[in-house]
Amino acid sequence: MRRLDRVERYTWRRHWRAQVASGLGEGVLGLASFVALRSLGAPTWIAPLIVVLAQSPWMFSPMWEHAVARFEPHRAFRWFGAAFALPLVAIAFVSVTPGARGDGHGVGDVGLFLACYVVAQAVHGGDIAQRSALIRANYRERVRGSVFGALAVIARGASIASAKAAGVVLEADPRWLRVVFPVAGALSFGEQMLLSRIRWRRDGLRRAAQTAGGGFREAWKRSVRLLRDDRDFRTYEIAWSLYGMGFLASTPMIVVFGERDLGASYATWTWAQGVSMPLAQIAATAPFGWLVDRVGAVRTTAFAYVLVTLFLASVPFVHTGPALVACFALWGVAMAGVNIVWNVGPLAFAPEGRGRHYAAAHVALVGLRSLLGPPLGYLLFQTVGMRATFALCAALVACGTVTAFRLSRRR
């Protein structure tokens, strides 16, 4: 990372510890769709439904942004921590009956599991704008890419340990899901408590409070005005929408492909999603952070989209567990770039003091795409088959790539 000033060093010493807790929780939560299919006996349409229900509430991010601005930052983080953790703790009450086949198969209360997971993820959508505001307030623009890249590396490293450990115990007995998900909730609560202890720069805190005014309706209008008046930001979000539709249409089908078509065990799936993918993200995150700091978020976005396109185009040719692990490594490299620019990209367009507004509008559009993308993927799967579904999703991401490249030429 580039040299940090005094406030940045203070923030970093607390920020990275929170990321360890975040990564440990994410490693478990990332298995939710696979757990639903394999250990609870859910039908294939549950995979896209999980994405729809978990992320479509992100459309209300502008209202979250307005609501949390009324609180001191430490209080907002504590509320988010409690609201996120409690539904995950309630998964302890999900009924699970192990199947005769073993290997983590079982049947259980899909409805309660789904409700708990979805409520937690809905809260997470409101938390994102608050995190972005912290980064904007306490880190200078020239170091944000490197800082976020380092934070992402820490989180991915922690997620490897928790995902693999969860896979081992769930393979032995699916009833362990009643333990690992509540533990993930407790870890996420700890993360929010650590973030709540970080003091914000006075000028960053003052600007965030001054620009947050108005009611819920005004928060929505503000997001619409941003997209209407800021041409470059609007184009950037069009690129994200093309990418997002392809990505969200394909993501639940990747889980179905692994569990149903490949018959992947917890061991194989966690080696692919829980180890190979995050290791690749760790290896690629620092270079992508460096790239953002030097060529900008827009060009980095376009390059990351190219890699996602290549990944989606390669999925239909995976027929073995080792091939799945290798394919997820490519996905990990791509997502290292996507995760960085998804978080810091909107800030590149934001004037001083308005970073939270741009982040809220950005997250809200994710919620809108989440209503449309997963059902599109399932519809394509039912009508044209798995191979054609991934090809069409790759084409959508490629269109987003072209849009981002064109935008980068005028910035």
Domain count, the chain: 1
pLDDT at residue 199 tops 90: no
The highest-confidence range among 15-29, 139-153, 228-242, by mean pLDDT, is 15-29
Least confident of 61-65, 226-230, 288-292: 61-65
In the block, residue with structure tokens 């200078």: 140
In the block, residue with structure tokens 């992320």: 55
Residue 1 lies in a domain: no
Q: Using 50, 70 and 90 to split pLDDT, how confident is the model at 225?
A: confident
Q: What is the pLDDT of residue 356?
A: 66
Q: For residue range 226-269, what is the model confidence (pLDDT) as tens digits?
A: 888 888 888 999 999 999 999 999 999 999 999 988 989 999 99
Determine the structural domain holding residue 173 and report its residue range. 6-408
Residue 208 lies in a domain: yes
pLDDT at residue 128 tops 80: no
Residue 158 lies in a domain: yes
pTM over 0.85: no
Q: Alpha-carbon distance 109 to 174, whole Å?
A: 12
Q: Using 50, 70 and 90 to split pLDDT, how confident is the model at 222?
A: confident
Q: What is the C-alpha end-to-end distance of the chain, expressed in Å?
A: 24
Count Cβ atoms within 10 A of the Cβ of residue 40 and give its class: 0-12 exposed, 13-18 middle, 19 or more buried: buried
Q: For residue range 147-196, what is the model confidence (pLDDT) as tens digits?
A: 877 888 898 889 999 999 999 999 999 999 999 999 999 999 999 999 98
In the block, residue with structure tokens 């990505």: 247
Q: What is the pLDDT of residue 97?
A: 93
Q: Alpha-carbon distance 30 to 201, whole Å?
A: 33
Q: What is the pLDDT of residue 409?
A: 84
**Can you read off the two tokens belonging to residue 383?**
């009508």
3-class SS string, the chain: CCCCCHHHHHHHHHHHHHHHHHHHHHHHHCCHHHHHHHHCCCCCCHHHHHHHHHHHHHHHHHHHHHHHCCCCHHHHHHHHHHHHHHHHHHHHHCCEEECCCCCCCEEECHHHHHHHHHHHHHHHHHHHHHHHHHHHHHCCHHHHHHHHHHHHHHHHHHHHHHHHHHHHHHHHCHHHHHHHHHHHHHHHHHHHHHHHCCCCCHHHHHHHHHCCCCCHHHHHHHHHHHHHHCHHHHHHHHHHHHHHHHHHHHHHHHHHHHHHHCCCCHHHHHHHHHHHHHHHHHHHHHHHHHHHHHHCHHHHHHHHHHHHHHHHHHHHHCCCHHHHHHHHHHHHHHHHHHHHHHHHCHHHCCCCCCHHHHHHHHHHHHHHHHHHHHHHHHHHHHHHCHHHHHHHHHHHHHHHHHHHHHHHCCC
pLDDT at residue 210 tops 50: no
Phi and psi, residue 233, nearest 5°:
-65, -40
Q: What is the mean pLDDT of the chain?
A: 86
Q: For residue range 41-53, what is the model confidence (pLDDT) as tens digits?
A: 999 999 999 988 8
Count Cβ atoms within 10 A of the Cβ of residue 364 and give its class: 0-12 exposed, 13-18 middle, 19 or more buried: buried
| Contact between residue 152 and residue 340 where contact means Cβ atoms under 8 Å apart | yes
Q: Using 50, 70 and 90 to split pLDDT, how confident is the model at 71?
A: low
Summarize the confidence of residues 352-374 as an average pLDDT: 78
Q: What is the pLDDT of residue 156?
A: 86
Least confident of 124-128, 194-198, 240-244, 358-362: 124-128
| Contact between residue 168 and residue 382 where contact means Cβ atoms under 8 Å apart | no
Q: What is the pLDDT of residue 213?
A: 46
Summarize the confidence of residues 377-402 as an average pLDDT: 95
Comparing CA positions, the residue from 319, 323, 317, 313 lying closest to residue 276 is 323
Q: What is the pLDDT of residue 411?
A: 67
Q: Alpha-carbon distance 180 to 186, whole Å?
A: 10
Summarize the confidence of residues 66-72 as an average pLDDT: 62
Which CATH number characterizes residue 325's domain? 1.20.1250.20
More reliable by pLDDT, 40 or 358: 40
More reliable by pLDDT, 65 or 191: 191
Q: What is the pLDDT of residue 211?
A: 47
Q: Alpha-carbon distance 124 to 317, whole Å?
A: 34
Residue 354 lies in a domain: yes
